[in-house]
Amino acid sequence: MKYLEEFRNPELAAGLLADIRATVTRPWALMEVCGGQTHSIIRHAIDQLLPEEVELIHGPGCPVCVTPLEVIDRALAIAARPGVVFCSFGDMLRVPGTDRDLFRVRSEGGDVRVVYSPLDALRIARENPDREVVFFGIGFETTAPPNAMAVHLAREQGLRNFSMLVSHVRVPPAIDAIMASPDCRVQGFLAAGHVCSVMGTDEYPELAERHRVPIVVTGFEPLDILEGIRLTVRQLERGEHTVENAYERAVRPEGNPAARAMLEDVFEVADRAWRGIGVIPRSGWRLSSRYRDHDAEHRFDVTGIATREPAACRSGEVLQGLLKPHQCEAFGTVCTPRTPLGATMVSSEGACAAYYLYRRLGTPAAAQEASPVG
C-alpha cells in the first residue's frame, strides 16, 4: 500500500539500523511520549533490533492511561444519572474506575454510547433536546481541536443540553516534569509527530536547551521511528541538544494555525493531574469561562468521590518509564486485556496492552529472561 508500505521497507530499515550501530559508542536511554509510537515499536520489535546500547523507555503517551482515576469515577457518576446520555470513544468504556467501568454502568441501565467523533455527540444532543448529553473529552493535543470545535459549535447552535467532561493534557510540560524527576534516566526524546502536527515545535527549543536534551519530532511507521532514533543518537554522540524534525511530511514549525486558534478560543491552560504521576503545572486544558455552560464539571455536582487504585497495578511506574510492563507481577496472569487492572492494559495505545498483544511471554520471570528490554 503506497504511503504505508514505503515506510516499512526492510532494506531501508536495515540501512538505518546499520547507521545507528555505526554511530553509537555507549549506552543511551531514549523516551517516546506517544502510545502510537510505543505500539509501533513493540509491534515491529524495533527495540529488539536496536544495538544493545540504545534503550527505549515508554513514557506517558497513552491518553486513556494518563486520565486520572478521579476523572474516570466522575464520568461514571455522571453516566449513571437518569436523563443523561454519556458519549465516549470506545477505549474508555472498559477502563476500570474504583468499583466499575462504563460497560457496567450501561448494563445497570445507564445510557452510555460509543461515538466516533464529538460531532456524533452533538447530533445526539440535537435529536434529544430533553436529555443531557455529555461527551468525555480526553487526550493530548491531537484530540483537543475537534473537541474544542464541538463545544464551539454547541455554543453557536444554542445546544444547551450538550456538555463536555474535559481531561485534556499537553506533552511539553510532561517532558519538563520527567526531566526534573530525580529518578529520570532519559537522555533524549522522540517527540510525538501527531501532537506536533497540531501544535508545531515552538515549545520544544527552550526545553531542549534548559534540560540539555535532544528532542526529535518523530512519526509512527518503523522507518519514521528508526530515523528519529538515528537523529537522537547522533546528537547524543556529538554532545548536542537541539530540536530536529524527522517527520517533515506532516509537521511544520507553526503546526496547524486553524486548530491552534480553535484551542485558544475554547480552552485555557490549567494544572492537570496525570494518572500515576500526579499534578503537573500547566499540563492540561480546561474549558474557558466563556464556555462554562458546556462544562460538565460545573453542570453536574459530583462530589464525594473516593478513589482507590488497585494495589497490584504498577501502571504509575510503567507510565513514568520506571518499569517495563512484563516486569509487573500481574502482567498476563491476573491482568490481561479481558481482565485489566489498569488503563495501560485496556487502551489500544497502552504499553501493557502492546506487550500483551505483541510480546506475551508468560510469567514475569520468563519475560525478563526472554526479553532484551528488561
Residues at the interface with ligand SF4 (CB under 6 A)? 312-315, 318, 325, 328, 330-331, 335, 340-342, 344-345, 352
Q: How far is the CB of 191 from ligand SF4 (least distance, A)?
A: 24
The β-bridge relationship of strands 162-169 and 278-287 is antiparallel
- The percent helix, strand, coil of the chain (3-state, each to 5) is 45, 20, 35
CA distance 67 to 197: 22
Q: Which residues share a beta bridge with 167? A: 138
Q: How far apart are CA 118 and CA 143, in angstroms?
A: 10
Give min distance, CB of 311 to ligand SF4, in A: 10
Q: How far apart are CA 185 and CA 196, in angstroms?
A: 24
Helix (H) or strand (E) holding 283: strand 278-287
Residue 124 beta carbon to ligand SF4: minimum distance, rounded to whole angstroms = 31
Instruction: Report the nearest approach of ligand SF4 to the CB of residue 267 (Å).
Output: 29
Give me Rg for the CA atoms of the chain.
21
Is residue 137 within 8 A of residue 296, CB to CB? The reply is no
Closest CA to 181 of 54, 57, 269, 286: 57
Nearest to ligand SF4 of 269, 322 (CB atom): 322
Question: What is the nearest approach in angstroms of ligand SF4 to the Cβ of residue 317?
Answer: 7
Least distance CB 199 / ligand SF4 (angstroms) = 29
Least spacing, CB of residue 309 vs ligand SF4, in Å: 10
Burial of 82 (0-12, 13-18, 19+ CB in 10 A): exposed
At residue 127, the 3 state secondary structure works out as: helix
Residue whose CB is less far from ligand SF4, 157 or 333 = 333
Q: Do 340 and 94 contact (CB within 8 A), yes or no?
A: yes
Q: Which is nearer to ligand SF4, 39 or 211 (CB)?
A: 39
Least separation in angstroms between residue 319's CB and ligand SF4 is 9
CB atoms within 10 A of CB 48: 14
- Shortest distance, position 92 Cβ to ligand SF4, whole Å: 15
User: Could you tell me the smallest distance in angstroms from the CB atom of residue 314 to ligand SF4?
Assistant: 4
For ligand SF4, which is the closer residue by CB, 34 or 226? Answer: 34
* Cα→Cα distances 139→90, 268, 356, Å: 13, 15, 23
- Please state the separation of Cα 210 from the chain's center in Å: 24
Residue with cell 527552550: 206
Instruction: Give the bridge partners for 104, in sequence order.
Output: none
d(CA 323, CA 185): 12
Nearer to ligand SF4, 93 or 335 (CB): 335
Would you tell me the crossing angle of helices 171-180 and 204-211 to the nearest 10 degrees?
A: 0
